[in-house]
Structure 1
Amino acid sequence: MDPNELARIEVQRSARPVHGGLGWKYPGVEDFSSNLNPYGPPAQLAQYIDEARDRLIWYPDDHSTEFRNAICSRLGVAPDQVIAGAGSAELIRLFPETFLDRGDKVLMPRPTFAEYGYGCRLRGAEVIEVPLREDNDLRIDLTEMMSRLQGCKAAYICNPNNPTGRVLSRKEVLEFASECERRKALLFLDETLLELVPGSKDITCIAEVGSRDNIFLIRSLTKCFAMPGMRIGYGIGNDRIVRLMDSARLSWNLGQLEQHVGAKLLTDCYGHISKAAEMMGKERSRMAKEISATGLVNIREPDSFFFFGRCNGRTGLEMQEELLGQNVLVRDCASFGHPFEHYVRFSVKTPERNSSLIEAFRRAGGV
C-alpha cells in the first residue's frame, strides 16, 4: 500500500515553511536572526516553572481558565473573546481549519510570515499574494489589497509585517477591516511582534476587536518574553468567532506549565516588555546609521525592532555565512522567494550586543 495514494492532494503537494530561530545550531554565536526580547526571559521564569511542577500529574484545564483570566485582566477583554493556543502557530493553523474550504480564496501580502499561506494551502484554499514593492519601502499597500478583496473569504495582515518590519497605524488597519467586512471577508490580524514596538498601545486594535464581526487577532508570549521553547499564545475576537474556533481546537492544547507560567508573566512581569521596547527604539537609529555606513546592506531605520535589507553584491546566504565567521547570525531571507534571496533580516538587541553586530559588519566590509 502506498500512503501517498491515501493522503489529501494538498498534503502531498506541501513543503514545510522555512523559519529562522536556528541559533541553537551555533553555540557561541550571537543570534540576531530571531525577533525576541533582547533582555531574555524575566528572572522569575524559573520560579513560575517550579511552582507548576506538582501539577504535572494532572491533565491541564482544557479551557486554560487561569491563563485566559490573566489575559482578560491585562487587556480589558471578556473571557468569551479569548482563546488560548500552543503558541501563535497553533492559532494560525486553527483559523483556516475553522473557516476555509477547498477553493476558497484568501488575500495576503508577499513577503509575510510563511505559516499563513502554508495553513491555507493545506485546506485547499487559493492564496492571492500582493507583492510588496521595493520602490514603496516594502510597505503593505492597503489600497492595492482592497482592490483584490473581491471574492476572498479572508485577508491576512501582520503588524509589524514579518520580515519587512514595517508598521501600519491603527486607523489604517481598521479602515481595511471595515472594507473586509463590507466584502464579507474575515481579517486575520497578527500582532505577535507589536508589543515590542515603541508606542504599541497607540497601534494595537485589541480594544476594537470585540465590537467587530470579522477580526481575529493573535499574540504570543514567545517574542515579548523571549521564551520560544515554551509555546504560549492567544487569540482575541468577538464571542462568535472565538466560539467557533474553540470548537475546532485541539483538546488540552496548553499544558499545566504553560498555563501557569503564561498567567504569572502577564500578571507580574508585563513591564519587562515595555522596558525592552523603549531601549530598542533608541538603539535602532544607531544601528541603521552605522551598519548602512559599511555599504554591505541597504537598510533604513525600521518602524519596529528588526531590520530587513538588500545586500550589496552578495546573496543573503553569502552575507549570513560571512557574518557567521564573525560569530553573529542573521537571517537569510531566500525562503521568501525572489528577489528576497538578496535580503537579510536581523533584530535589535542590547547596546553591547548591537555593537558586536556593527563591528562584524565593519570587519566583513573592510571598514
Structure 2
Amino acid sequence: MTDRMGESVPSHGGNLREAARFFGVAPESLQDFSANINPLGIPAELMALLGKELDGITHYPDPECRELVRGISSYTGFPDDWILPGNGASEILYLLMDVMKFKRVAIPAPTFSEYAQAAARAGSRVEWFPAAQAQDFKLDIPGLLDFLAGGFDALVLCNPNNPTSRLLSRQDLLFIMQEAEKRGLFVVVDEAFIELTHKGTAGSVAKMGWMGKNTVIIRAFTKVFAIPGLRLGYGLGHPDLMGRLRERRLPWSVNTLAQCVGEYLPMSRDFLARTCAWIGEEGPACFEAVSRIPGLLAWRPETNFMLLKLPAGLSGLEFCRRMAGKGFLVRNASNFRFLADGFIRIAIRGREANRQMVKAMEEAVAGC
C-alpha cells in the first residue's frame, strides 16, 4: 500500500522505525499498539537466562535444538519426534507449504497474510472463504464445509484469528478438523496467540489423540514471551511429516539465545497464569472504553488485540497519521483480505497505556 506521495506504508505491525519515518515522528515518541505482544514483557526468569547465555553466542547453536525440543515436549506433552522448532512460526509455515506443495488451499479471511504468501510461493492456488462483518466475523462453519466440497487439498485456520480476534471453541475446531479429514484435506491450525486468551492453552486442539497424519499445529513464543526479535516458533505434527520438514530446514535456523526458551518453559506456569488473568481483565475493559467513542465500531476481543471500524469519511491512513502525531502507533488493517479502508487493529496493553490510547483515539475521530 502507498500513500498519495507514493511512499510505502508498513504492511505489518511492529515496524516501529519504518512507521516513525513514514509518519515523520521520532521512534522513541511512539507507544506501539500495532504489534500484538504480551504487555507483561519478557519474563524475568527468561531475561536472566538470556543474559547468562550471552557468552554462548561465540559458539554455533545446536542444529537439532535438543534442549529446546525437550522443553517444548514438557510444555506440550508431545514426544520429541512430533516437534519441530523454527525461526519463528513463519519458518514452519513456509517449510510446510514448500514440502507439501498443495494444489488448492482454502483460507477463511480476513486473516494473517503470510498463509497465502507461503502457499503461493510454493505454487499453490489460494481460494478465500469470507467471514462476514454482518456475522461479526464469526466463521460460518456449515458454509465453510460446503465450500470445502469444491476440491481442496488443504485448509488453513488461525485460532484465535488475526485480525478479527475471533476464537473458535475447541469443540467447533475439532469438528472442522474431523470433517476436513473425512474429505481428505490437510489441516493447518495456527495457534500463535492461544496463550493470550483467557483460557490459555486449555482452549487448544494440540492433543495427540485429536491429530491425524494430516494435521499440523503451528505456535510461536514470540507473542506470549514478548521476544519477537529472537524469532522462535514450532510445529506439532506426525513424526513422518516433521521428519520431512526437518530435512528441508536450513541448518542453525534457531539461534543460541532463542534455544534458551527451552530451559525457561518449566518455569513459565505462573507467568502464563498471570497472562490469562490480564487478558481476562484488560480485554473487556479496553473494549468497553473504545466502544464509548462516538462513531467507532469495535468487535469484542477474545485475545490481546481488537478490530475497529472508523467513522465514515475517515481513512485508515489518516487516522494512523493522527494517532502517530499523538504518540501512538496503530495498525491500518485495510490490507487484510475482505477489509476495506477504515478498519484498524489495536493491541491491548496495560490499563494506563490503554487509557491514554483511548483518549488519543477520541481526539483523532472528533468531528467526524
- TM above 0.5, yes or no, is yes
* Equivalent position amino acid for 2:13 in 1: G
* Equivalent position amino acid for 1:267 in 2: P
Aligned to 1:19: 12
Aligned to 2:206: 206
Cα distance in structure 2, aligned partners of 1:292 and 1:130: 28
CA shift at 1:252, angstroms? Answer: 1.5
Cα distance in structure 1, aligned partners of 2:292 and 2:57: 53
Cα distance in structure 2, aligned partners of 1:336 and 1:245: 28
SS of 1:356's partner is: helix
SS of 1:341's partner is: coil
* Structure-to-structure mapping, 1:169-318, within 5 angstroms: 169-208=169-208, 211-260=211-260, 262-313=261-312, 314-318=314-318
CA shift at 1:47, angstroms? Answer: 2.4
Q: Does 1:35 align with 2:39?
A: no
* Equivalent position amino acid for 2:256 in 1: Q
Cα distance in structure 2, aligned partners of 1:192 and 1:168: 14
Alpha-carbon spacing, 1:220–1:339, altered in 2? closer, same or farther (3 Å): closer
Alpha-carbon spacing, 1:189–1:229, altered in 2? closer, same or farther (3 Å): same
Aligned to 1:354: 354
**1:96-128 residue CA offsets vs partner (Å, 9 max, x unmatched):** 011015xx0000012111100001001111001
Aligned to 1:74: 75
* Equivalent position amino acid for 1:246 in 2: R
CA shift at 1:33, angstroms? Answer: 0.9
CA shift at 1:88, angstroms? Answer: 0.5
Alpha-carbon spacing, 1:71–1:178, altered in 2? closer, same or farther (3 Å): same
Aligned to 2:331: 331
**1:154-181 residue CA offsets vs partner (Å, 9 max, x unmatched):** 1000001001100001111111111111
Cα distance in structure 1, aligned partners of 2:58 and 2:363: 53
Cα distance in structure 1, aligned partners of 2:258 and 2:209: 25
Q: Does 1:48 align with 2:41?
A: no
SS of 1:184's partner is: coil
Pairs aligned (count): 350
SS of 1:264's partner is: helix
User: 1:166 touches 1:302 (CA, 8 Å); kept in 2?
Assistant: yes
CA shift at 1:69, angstroms? Answer: 0.2
User: 1:296 touches 1:361 (CA, 8 Å); kept in 2?
Assistant: no
SS of 1:206's partner is: coil
Alpha-carbon spacing, 1:33–1:71, altered in 2? closer, same or farther (3 Å): same
SS of 2:148's partner is: coil
CA shift at 1:137, angstroms? Answer: 0.3
Alpha-carbon spacing, 1:320–1:209, altered in 2? closer, same or farther (3 Å): farther
| TM-score of the two chains, using structure 2 as the length reference | 0.90
CA shift at 1:270, angstroms? Answer: 3.8
Cα distance in structure 1, aligned partners of 2:210 and 2:83: 10
Cα distance in structure 1, aligned partners of 2:352 and 2:165: 22
* Structure-to-structure mapping, 1:51-62, within 5 angstroms: 51-62=52-63
User: 2:330 touches 2:345 (CA, 8 Å); kept in 1?
Assistant: yes
Cα RMSD after superposing both structures: 2.0
List runs of 5+ in structure 1 lacking aligned partners.
1-16
CA shift at 1:265, angstroms? Answer: 2.8
CA shift at 1:211, angstroms? Answer: 4.3
User: 1:209 touches 1:238 (CA, 8 Å); kept in 2?
Assistant: no
List runs of 5+ in structure 2 lacking aligned partners.
1-9, 21-26
Cα distance in structure 2, aligned partners of 1:193 and 1:310: 22
User: 2:194 touches 2:201 (CA, 8 Å); kept in 1?
Assistant: no
Alpha-carbon spacing, 1:272–1:186, altered in 2? closer, same or farther (3 Å): same
Aligned to 1:163: 163
User: 1:160 touches 1:167 (CA, 8 Å); kept in 2?
Assistant: yes
Decide which moves more: 113-122 or 321-330.
Answer: 321-330
SS of 1:334's partner is: coil
SS of 1:294's partner is: coil
SS of 1:34's partner is: coil
